[in-house]
Chains A and B, each alone.
Chain A
Amino acid sequence: MCGIVGLFLKDKALEPELGALLSSMLITMTDRGPDSAGIAIYGSDNGKTAKITLQSADPGTDFDGLGDALKGALGIPVSIEVKSTHAVVTLDKDKVDAGRAALSSLRPNIRVMSSGDTIEIYKEIGLPKDVVSRFAVSGMSGTHGIGHTRMATESAVTTLGAHPFSTGSDQCLVHNGSLSNHNNLRRELKRQGMTFETENDSEVAAAYLTAEMAKGKDLGAALTSAVDDLDGFFTFVVGTKSGFGVLRDPIACKPAVMAETDRYVAFGSEYRALVNLPGIETARIWEPEPATVYFWDHEKAA
């Protein structure tokens, strides 16, 4: 059992409240997953800079002087905002690859949670309320976001085993369920050049979608092929820079409720997660159909 929440905003006036709304939704899902929690938030794109979110088991040592060290390695100024065990590095978009390479040599123990133009991922073991408060998620604004509360079944309770998983630029996935063909698929994806941080089944699903999108598919098309290629139980909620998707396996025993108004599309493992959203009383509320791709995109809607 796990809990999933997601919120895709259509009304820009709600953007400053994204972190607060998602935090409240996530905490409501604590009893579905008290082991660990995580959240991916998509902020605004200024057209110039990108972000790399880092995690360290020893933030005091790893993050100390990191800004100067990166500046020395890259020859450009970078900014670093440290939040507890995580840090967000902001740098020019065309320096992301060089920045990641520099980070892995300067601080080999650091883990990259996400990188991209707008995505930030924060995840840790512990109760969801503690996780959102240590990263001050409530104060964050953004266009869309996804959260997960984990009750581990397929791999250990660790920071890296928490969701969301990000395996591509500005991409993330959260999963409730268990995949049965993840070992085979992981071998296949490794052969295609994908790299993996964990033995977790959900990371394989994330990498699968990344690989499909790298072949030119949009998120909706990648999810459509996932119905055929992924075996097991799953409710997925996935994010891209501008997109938000939902997919359930054909058996559909992992719960899911969705709500849509003129202002947002929301996902919850249970209706309880949605009750504090503005206008929920008059929202269109439905249970997503099995083996059916649901997909929204800011750019395609505009």
Chain B
Amino acid sequence: MPVFDLSTTPLRELNSALHGLSAGANDTVFEVINPRGSHAVAVGIDAPVTVDIKGSVGYYCAGMNDGGNVTVHGSAGPGVAENMMSGSVVIEGDASQYAGATGRGGLLVIKGNAASRCGISMKGIDIVVHGNIGHMSAFMGQSGHLVVLGDAGDALGDSLYEAKLFVRGSVKSLGADCIEKDMRPEHIEKLAELLELAGIRDVRPEEFKRYGSARKLYNFNIDNAEAY
């Protein structure tokens, strides 16, 4: 198993090794030690590799991940798993702002809290947060699911398109055009699947409320001018 010590090895060596994997390579389990808040750790993965990062990371960890399984055994700085395509990213600690931003696929699990703008402009990614999320989360979310076991901050789902938001705790306030919606059987089923995928066994999908778009702001309508 390749081990990269970022206190002695340049980041580019790690990322080049991850990008250089050929199809069918056997050595697909990487360990990264001493990340010490480094930026851009394990970005641009495009192969089914497993990366264990032992410590906290800075900006954009696992950005653009396409098929990798990345675990951060610590906390993550801004933009973790930004624009993820597929695969999974697990943060054992907390995540800073805009976790999972613009993600198109894959699963992001944050075991602590996520700060502001979690899932901003999400486009198909599934995000499960064990703790709370900050303000402006899922802003302009287009598709995918944001599951929050704790509370959500101000302006959840502002200008939301078709991303589905499930919050178990309180929501400080809803953003423009975001409303609470009924939990139908298909939502319970999807939520149960996501909780299962995120390894959460002691929480029932019925404990959540669903939030989604009221679809009033999709197109400009002069009657809605005060809502913009």
Contacts and interface: CB of A to CB of B under 8 A. Distances in A.
A298 interface: no
Looking at chain A's contact residues, is the secondary structure mostly helix, strand, loop, or mixed?
Answer: loop
Interface stretch (A117-125, A175-183, A270-278): A270-278
A230 interface: no
A250 B155 CA distance: 12
B58 A272 contact: yes
B78 interface: yes
A290 interface: yes
A285 B97 contact: no
Contacts of B75: 271, 285
A196 interface: no
A252 B97 CA distance: 9
A47 to B, nearest CB: 41
A255 interface: yes
B69 interface: no
Contacts of B135: 250, 252, 290
A229 interface: no
A253 interface: yes
B96 A287 contact: yes
Interface in B140-170: none
B37 A290 contact: no
B97 A272 contact: no
B115 interface: yes
Nearest to B114: A287
A275 B135 CA distance: 27
A208 to B, nearest CB: 25
Nearest to A28: B37
B56 interface: yes
B86 interface: no
B36 A272 contact: yes
Given A287-B115, A290-B116, A270 B94 contact: no
Contact of A272 (B37, B94, B115, B134): B37
A180 to B, nearest CB: 19
Interface residues of A, number: 16
B220 to A, nearest CB: 24
Contacts, number: 42
Interface in A142-201: none
Contacts of A275: 36-37
Interface in B103-124: 115-116
A252 B116 contact: yes
A271 B77 contact: yes
B15 interface: no
B97 A253 contact: yes
A286 B115 CA distance: 10
B173 interface: no
B38 interface: yes
Given A255-B96, A286-B94, A287-B94, A271 B56 contact: yes
A160 B177 CA distance: 47
B136 to A, nearest CB: 8
A271 B96 CA distance: 11
B201 to A, nearest CB: 28
Nearest to B38: A272
A80 to B, nearest CB: 40
Interface string B85-99: 000000000101100
A271 B37 contact: yes
Interface in A228-275: 250, 252-253, 255, 257, 270-275
Given A257-B96, A287-B96, A290-B135, 8 more contacts: A252-B135, A253-B97, A255-B77, A271-B56, A271-B58, A272-B37, A285-B94, A287-B115
Interface of B: 36-38, 56, 58-59, 75, 77-78, 94, 96-97, 115-116, 134-135
24 contacts: A252-B97, A252-B115, A252-B116, A252-B135, A253-B116, A255-B77, A255-B96, A255-B97, A257-B96, A270-B37, A270-B58, A271-B56, A271-B75, A272-B36, A272-B37, A272-B58, A273-B37, A275-B36, A285-B56, A285-B94, A286-B94, A287-B96, A287-B115, A290-B135
